[in-house]
Structure 1
Amino acid sequence: MNSTTHNSNTDLRRQRQRLEALVQPAPQPSRLGRAMHTLGDRLLSFFTGTPELRIWQRTRHGQPVWFAHDPITDRTRSFYSEQDLRQWLDHRYYE
Structure 2
Amino acid sequence: MNSTTRTTNSELNRQRQRLETLVQPTPRALGLSQVFRSLGDRLLNFFTGTEELRIWQSTRNGHQVWFAHDPITNRTRSFYSEQDVRQWLDNRYYE
Report the TM-score when normalising by structure 1.
Answer: 0.52
Instruction: List aligned pairs for 1:14-33, cutoff 5 A.
Output: none
Deviations 1:9-58 (A, max 9, x none): xxxxxxxxxxxxxxxxxxxxxxxxxxxxxxx9874432222011000011
What residue is the counterpart of 1:54 in the other structure?
Answer: 54
Matched, 1:79 2:79: yes
Letter in 2 for 1:74: N
Moved over 6 A (4+): none
In the alignment, structure 2 segments of 5+ residues that lack a partner are 1-39
Letter in 2 for 1:46: F
What residue is the counterpart of 1:23 in the other structure?
Answer: none
Larger gyration radius, structure 1 or structure 2: 1
In the alignment, structure 1 segments of 5+ residues that lack a partner are 1-39
- Equivalent residues, number: 57
In the TM superposition, what is the alpha-carbon distance from 1:65 to its structure 2 partner? 0.2
Deviations 1:48-87 (A, max 9, x none): 2201100001101110000000001111000001100010
Report the TM-score when normalising by structure 2.
Answer: 0.52
- Once residues 43 and 75 of structure 2 are traced to their aligned partners in structure 1, the CA distance between those partners, rounded to angstroms, is 20
- Once residues 41 and 74 of structure 1 are traced to their aligned partners in structure 2, the CA distance between those partners, rounded to angstroms, is 12
Letter in 1 for 2:92: R
Letter in 1 for 2:87: Q
Report percent identity of matched pairs: 84
